[in-house]
């Protein structure tokens, strides 16, 4: 009886503290920091990419404020937030830029750093990258004729 | 001469006056005295209203710039917006005379817009915010974008007119009166942009 009570107490502590249970209770959007978090992620990522000697070429003369706003919308929508992405499809947005595989992975690595700096939990980081990864085909293949 | 003959003679005289063309030269200078290249001049008849035109013009996008950046067309004209870049442009205007937004991809050649109200239309690109162009939409059939000489020549019926001149940086002059008869008239204008010149607000038509 005593051991049963101890188990119940342990279970209560463990179950409430279980990160998997906590993760299921909040959306990815919330774990990214909600609207302020998502905007900060988009702003920092675009600022760093635009300042990068290699990636920066794709942002020359580009209205960065618009790109940040649309990227924030896109991450918000993908992560289950209350947004609707109003930008162009990825293939059209990247047409003519001839993005290389190296540039794509540079951007992924930059995003990883931004998420780590903002102390986004590992599970949330991986979940976001998993949602963005399928865009690689359209970003790199933007200059091929549309399928 | 009976009344009827007199009436016919009057009509004939009026017709002759209509057919007789007078010549007007307009010369526009920048504040420093050089020719005001690319300035727009518009000659308005004081009592005549021309019907809408159905002209066609083109504003291209080349190397993340509009070409031409200064345009003048008659009300009722259509502009096609060919994209010669490989990248995506999104051309827009918030101007009262024409509001629109066009998605233009590599190879977009045929997307066009009708400009059916007079006024100054400012074009931008949502994606590339340094892209800027002006489209002056005018009712008068007598207008010009000045070449390097800064002068424009018009053949028009004798009469009283007003002349407006505008340039996005050099300044603007609104409705200067001129009477055109034979012999040829010559009007010389000098632009002078005030401090804080706002080319959109300064559009004189």
Q: Are B23 and B185 in contact (CB under 8 A)?
A: yes
Nearest to A79 by CA among A119, A23, A118: A23
Q: Are A138 and A91 in contact (CB under 8 A)?
A: yes
* pLDDT for A89: 93
Token readout for B39 is 């300035």
B:130-149 residues touching chain A, CB 8 A cutoff? 130
Is pLDDT of B4 > 80? no
Please judge whether A92 and B105 are an interchain contact, meaning their C-beta atoms are less than 8 angstroms apart.
yes
Please judge whether A61 and B130 are an interchain contact, meaning their C-beta atoms are less than 8 angstroms apart.
yes
Q: How many CB atoms lie within 10 A of CB A36?
A: 9
Residue numbers in B near A144 (CB within 8 A): none
Of B103, B105, B128, the CB nearest to A62: B128
Please judge whether A61 and B126 are an interchain contact, meaning their C-beta atoms are less than 8 angstroms apart.
no
Nearest to B69 by CA among B199, B176, B201, B204: B199
Q: How many CB atoms lie within 10 A of CB A67?
A: 21
- The lowest-confidence range among B48-62, B147-161, B179-193 is B48-62
Of B106, B125, B129, the CB nearest to A96: B106
Nearest CA distance, B88 vs chain A (angstrom): 6
Q: How far apart are CA B131 and CA B68, in angstroms?
A: 11
Any A CB within 8 A of B153 CB: no
Question: What tens digit of pLDDT does each residue of B118-174 get?
Answer: 999 999 999 999 999 999 999 999 999 999 999 999 999 999 999 999 999 999 999
* pLDDT for A145: 56
Q: How far apart are CA A92 and CA A42, in angstroms?
A: 20
Please judge whether B128 and A97 are an interchain contact, meaning their C-beta atoms are less than 8 angstroms apart.
no
Any A CB within 8 A of B63 CB: no
* pLDDT for B183: 83
Q: How far apart are CA B205 and CA B203, in angstroms?
A: 6
ipTM of the prediction greater than 0.85, yes or no: no
Is pLDDT of B16 > 50? no
Please judge whether B64 and A97 are an interchain contact, meaning their C-beta atoms are less than 8 angstroms apart.
no
Radius of gyration of chain B, Cα coordinates, nearest whole angstrom: 20
Q: How far apart are CA B7 and CA B149, in angstroms?
A: 46
Nearest to B189 by CA among B25, B44, B74, B67: B25
Nearest CA distance, A131 vs chain B (angstrom): 24
Nearest to B150 by CA among B23, B22, B31, B21: B31
Q: Is B133 exposed, middle or buried (0-12, 13-18, 19+ CB in 10 A)?
A: buried
Is pLDDT of B50 > 90? no
Nearest CA distance, B103 vs chain A (angstrom): 9
Q: Are B163 and B185 in contact (CB under 8 A)?
A: no
Nearest to B144 by CA among B65, B19, B27: B27
Q: Are B61 and B69 in contact (CB under 8 A)?
A: no
Nearest CA distance, B64 vs chain A (angstrom): 8
Please judge whether A88 and B86 are an interchain contact, meaning their C-beta atoms are less than 8 angstroms apart.
no
- The lowest-confidence range among A80-89, B138-147, B174-183 is B174-183
Token readout for A126 is 């991986």
Residue numbers in A near B105 (CB within 8 A): 92, 95
Please judge whether A88 and B103 are an interchain contact, meaning their C-beta atoms are less than 8 angstroms apart.
yes
- The lowest-confidence range among A83-87, A140-144, B166-170 is A140-144
Any A CB within 8 A of B62 CB: no
């Amino acid at each position: 009886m005593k051991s049963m009570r101890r188990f119940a107490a342990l279970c209560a502590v463990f179950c409430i503290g279980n990160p998997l249970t906590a993760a299921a209770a909040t959306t990815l959007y919330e774990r990214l920091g909600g609207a302020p978090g998502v905007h900060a992620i988009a702003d920092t990522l675009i600022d760093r990419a635009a300042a990068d000697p290699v990636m920066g070429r794709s942002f020359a003369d580009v209205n960065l404020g618009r790109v940040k706003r649309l990227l924030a919308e896109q991450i918000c929508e993908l992560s289950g937030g209350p947004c609707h992405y109003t930008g162009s499809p990825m293939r059209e947005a990247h047409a003519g830029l001839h993005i290389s595989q190296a540039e794509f992975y540079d951007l992924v690595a930059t995003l990883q750093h931004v998420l780590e700096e903002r102390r986004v939990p590992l599970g949330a980081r991986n979940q976001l990258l998993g949602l963005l990864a399928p865009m690689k085909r359209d970003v790199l293949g933007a200059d091929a004729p549309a399928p | 001469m009976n009344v009827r003959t007199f009436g016919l003679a009057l009509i004939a005289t009026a017709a002759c006056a209509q057919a007789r063309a007078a010549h007007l030269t307009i010369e526009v200078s920048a504040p420093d005295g050089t020719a005001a290249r690319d300035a727009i001049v518009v000659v308005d008849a004081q009592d005549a209203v021309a019907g809408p035109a159905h002209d066609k013009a083109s504003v291209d996008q080349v190397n993340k710039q509009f070409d031409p950046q200064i345009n003048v067309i008659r009300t009722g004209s259509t502009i096609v917006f060919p994209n010669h870049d490989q990248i995506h442009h999104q051309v827009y205007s918030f101007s009262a005379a024409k509001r629109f937004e066009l998605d233009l991809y590599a190879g977009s050649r045929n997307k066009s817009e009708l400009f059916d109200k007079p006024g100054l239309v400012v074009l931008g690109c949502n994606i590339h915010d340094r892209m800027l162009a002006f489209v002056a939409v005018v009712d008068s059939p007598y207008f010009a974008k000045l070449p390097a000489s800064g002068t424009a020549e018009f053949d028009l019926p004798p009469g009283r007119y007003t002349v407006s001149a505008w340039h996005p940086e050099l300044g603007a002059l609104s409705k200067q009166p001129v009477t055109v008869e034979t012999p040829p008239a010559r009007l010389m204008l000098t632009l002078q942009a005030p401090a804080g010149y706002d080319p959109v607000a300064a559009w004189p038509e």
